[in-house]
Structure 1
Amino acid sequence: MKVRIPLVCFLVLLPLNIPWSQIGVTWLGVVHFLACLSPQLGSVLYHLFMNHEGGEPVYHTLLKVDVCGICMINTLGMLPIVYSTLLCYPVIRTLALLLYILLSTHAIYCAVTARSSVRRLRSFAWQALFRFSFFLLRWVGVGGGSPTSLRHFVTMDMLAVLGGVINIARIPERFCPGLFDYWCNSHQIMHVLVVGSILYLHWGVLDDLLWINSYICPSD
């Protein structure tokens, strides 16, 4: 039940929080909504059917669904960032979007076929590097985007990485076995951090979408 609450909140409240009438590129808003929704949906399906009796094959199938949700937010969530960063360079922007989609396709394949949590986390490394390069462009003033969005995106990635590390390291239950079986275990902490990460993604993209609608690219 606890896992479903964020899904319902994102499903109902997120569209209401997007100022559709003020967004000039509507598909970016739609993509952003799907990005925020996908990890929650994958997680709900994963946890909802965890009481199955199908054995290891069913478990791995559910795990792949959960991983696909994470992959989708990494993929779809980055598209508005790429678009706004390269707003004034349409040709480069299109190529960058295509490159990231291809890169993400490979990352999804690696993630769903990974045989350990560490390898699964490594599958997202190239996406993270791609994202970092765009953050760097913004930081040095080459790329576009809202002046307030970069700090949201950096916080987003910090929370996501922290959640992944805590989940893999099994902190804090590895230090006190049995004490955190029901509350405050690493998996629950990871989920809380992921929700926080999605919120920062939302705030950053929202700033960018409004910036796109008001910004005029300089003429050469």
Structure 2
Amino acid sequence: MFKKDKCDSDSLKKNSLLCNFRDLPLWLQDNCDILKGYRRPTFSYLKCAESLFYVHNESVNIWSHLVGAIAFIFLGFITYDYVLSHHPSIIWWDVAVFYIFLMGAMICLGLSSTFHTFCCHSEKVCAQWGRCDYVGIVTLIVGSFYPMIYYGFYCHNKLKIFYLTLITLFGCATIFVAFANKFRTPEYRWFRTGLFVSMGLSAIIPLAHALIIYGFELSVKVISLKWIIVMGVFYLTGAFIYGSRIPERWFPGKFDIYGSSHQIFHFFVVAAAFIHYFGVIQAMMYWHEQNHNCELDVSMLKPSFIH
């Protein structure tokens, strides 16, 4: 009897930490199709951190990107020894662009996980970490551009500098917009999605330029075009699911804890980042095995000349 009362007491204590959508303050109301499993405002970083160890509707969002961030930190430790150091022609630029991408992934996933952990603290703290979350997204997008542009214009220094400068300025402008108070409200969900998607799709310009220089078949090797296309499909699919709030908009209350659009979006982001990681390795290996000194003309690198 005493044991049963204790279990009931523990269950009541745990459930009291959670509430339904209608019980939330306005600043925590984001998705009306997620009906339950919300954490109440805690006004405590410690209590927010404690929510890592019980299940609520942000658990998957927190852990999916926390595990992803840890995985990229691990890759940061092993990439140089097991990938980059195998090619004697590797220079500091190769290392820099590779680690800018890795750092972008770590920062994005880490800040995202942190935001979802502490968003129930208070309105002010939620807004602050929300902005950090947007900065992380921009950092990953810009960081992903760096190796793509570096290897896409490996032997074209002026174009390389031009496109790297352009995407960096675009990223800074996006961060500036992201700091506006209205940007994080539910009404601006599609605007947020569109802004980040537009930033990602701006890759079409340097990609098209690279295709003009190399042609499709060589671009597959030079800039890992197929990997980039797959990565883009993952990001766009994830962004569409996030913006459309599928599947919970079709079945309100059925995906409160597991399987909501934001959670699916998180997994697509992690998968896309890993896809890009392997694509960068392929592009790096191609250049350092075929033409690391840029001694061969582009026409000599095309398939009909390589045999």
TM-score when scaled to structure 1?
A: 0.88
The one of 65, 71, 77 equivalent to 1:9 is: 71
Q: Note the alpha carbon deviations across 1:155-179, whole angstroms, 9 max, x for none.
A: 1111111111111211101111111
Q: Note the alpha carbon deviations across 1:91-111, whole angstroms, 9 max, x for none.
A: 221122112211221122223
Paired position in structure 1 for 2:115: 46
Structure number with greater Rg is 2
Q: Structure 1 residue 75: deviation in Å?
A: 0.7
Provide the rounded CA distance (Å) in 2 between the counterparts of 1:96 and 1:174: 39
TM-score when scaled to structure 2?
A: 0.65
Provide the rounded CA distance (Å) in 1 between the counterparts of 2:139 and 2:236: 16
Paired position in structure 1 for 2:28: none
Q: Which structure 1 segments of 5+ residues have no match?
A: none
Aligned 1:142-161 pairs, distance under 5 A: 142=214, 147=221, 149-161=224-236
- RMSD over aligned Cα, in angstroms? 2.2
Paired position in structure 1 for 2:240: 165
The one of 81, 84, 91 equivalent to 1:20 is: 84
Q: Quickly say closer, same or farther: Cα 1:111–1:151, change in 2 above 3 A.
A: farther
Percent identity between the aligned chains?
22
Q: Quickly say closer, same or farther: Cα 1:150–1:162, change in 2 above 3 A.
A: same
Q: Quickly say closer, same or farther: Cα 1:194–1:125, change in 2 above 3 A.
A: closer
Deviates more, 1:63-72 or 1:3-12: 3-12
> Is the counterpart of residue 185 in structure 1 residue 252 in structure 2?
no
Aligned 1:9-158 pairs, distance under 5 A: 9-18=71-80, 19-21=83-85, 22=87, 23-24=90-91, 25-52=94-121, 54-55=122-123, 57-113=124-180, 114-115=183-184, 116-142=188-214, 147=221, 149-158=224-233
| 8 Å CA contact 1:45, 1:65 repeated in 2 | no
Question: What is the count of residue pairs matched by the alignment?
Answer: 218
Provide the rounded CA distance (Å) in 1 between the counterparts of 2:255 and 2:143: 34
Provide the rounded CA distance (Å) in 2 between the counterparts of 1:125 and 1:70: 11
| 8 Å CA contact 1:112, 1:120 repeated in 2 | no
Q: Structure 1 residue 125: deviation in Å?
A: 4.7
Quick one: which amino acid aligns to residue 37 of structure 1?
Answer: M
| 8 Å CA contact 2:103, 2:143 repeated in 1 | yes
Q: Which structure 2 segments of 5+ residues have no match?
A: 1-51, 53-62, 299-307
| 8 Å CA contact 1:111, 1:123 repeated in 2 | no
Q: Structure 1 residue 126: deviation in Å?
A: 4.5
Paired position in structure 1 for 2:301: none
| 8 Å CA contact 2:153, 2:159 repeated in 1 | yes
Provide the rounded CA distance (Å) in 2 between the counterparts of 1:111 and 1:215: 42
Quick one: which amino acid aligns to residue 163 of structure 2?
Answer: A
Provide the rounded CA distance (Å) in 2 between the counterparts of 1:211 and 1:46: 38
Provide the rounded CA distance (Å) in 2 between the counterparts of 1:108 and 1:73: 12
